[in-house]
Amino acid sequence: ATTLGASAAERGGRYFGTAVAAYKLSDSVYTTILNREFNSVTPENEMKWDATEPSQNSFNYSSSDQIVNQARSRGAKVRGHALAWHSQQPGWAAGMEGTALRNAMINHVTQVATHFRGQIDSWDVVNEAFADGSGGGRRDSNLQRTGNDWIEVAFRTARAADPGAKLCYNDYNTDDWTHAKTKAVYRMVQDFKQRGVPIDCVGFQSHMNQQSPYPSNYRTTLSSFAALGVDVQITELDIQNATPAWYSGVVTDCLAVARCNGITVWGIRDSDSWRASQTPLLFDGSGNKKAAYNSVLTALNNG
């Protein structure tokens, strides 16, 4: 096929998505590309805790509803991002600890997942809960300090609120199978599957940095997680300098794993990127297709 979404759909019903910002939906260059190329969207900031619950138990869904309605009106999937995260907490939650924070987190997950019930394909239930470096432990945060079970509580709460949504754990720096952080997430997912904690998928953000070589064991990472009985997705893909060979490598590795059912790039044009100076995306600032776009499309169709 001739677009990213349609080409991915031909490969076993996969999707090709992008992060979307609500305030850009009035930009016709942006929406033309969005509607033509992408059959899944992830709100870049609009579903985060600070956006949806600016004061405790008072919820604001105006910009997140806008993105969800735009996507669903044209038959695109929505990945919800993110219910429980140490970052982007509203000030009232960032200052909380202990039982009060645990209860606030449970209420947040319940309210937001209930509001969007039936409209979300997959939720990033918990985002970035593991530490960087070689320790293989949890990240210290106010949520972690409420008790090690906070992650499974978030997943059980989300399942109760929206039983039809697939529930994912999402993190970065988990591409390399030999990395301690990757192994630590793997052991958590293995434990959740063994104990019946509801988890359906694992998201690999894949913010790739060319200071290191392309992770030759990336496919091993994806297939190892898939073998635990979860779907895997690439959820926030962007690559420093948008090197075409890296982009086609990611697509080819995903296509090689049956349970790798979707890829999302973290923005449309380079100018939309959180790391715009590294020109990491598939379209330039004017909305023209880059060489990386062509390598992705070719890999989707021939890989």
Sites for ligand G3I among residues 79-98 (CB under 6 A) = 87-88
For the bound state, the minimum distance from the C-beta of residue 27 to ligand G3I, rounded and expressed in Å, comes to 14
- Out of 205, 223, 261, 264, the only residue in the binding site for ligand G3I (CB under 6 A) is 205
DSSP string, 110-152: HHHHHHTTTT-SEEEEEE--B-SSSS--BPP-TTGGG-TTHHH
Give the three-class secondary structure for 165: coil
For the bound state, the minimum distance from the C-beta of residue 172 to ligand G3I, rounded and expressed in Å, comes to 6
42 versus 261: smaller Cβ distance to ligand G3I: 42
Give the three-class secondary structure for 223: helix
- Out of 45, 220, 271, 294, the only residue in the binding site for ligand G3I (CB under 6 A) is 45
| Type and span of the H or E element at 168 | strand 166-171
117 touches 159 (CB < 8 A): no
Look up 236 and say whether it is catalytic: yes
**Which residues, in sequence order, are CB contacts of 81 under 8 Å at separation 6+?**
42, 43, 44, 47, 48, 123, 124, 127, 170, 235
Residue 139 binding ligand G3I, by CB under 6 A:
no
Residue 44 binding ligand G3I, by CB under 6 A:
yes
Residue 60 binding ligand G3I, by CB under 6 A:
no
124 touches 203 (CB < 8 A): yes
Q: Looking at beta carbons, which residue is closest to ligand G3I?
A: 274
The catalytic site residues sit at: 236
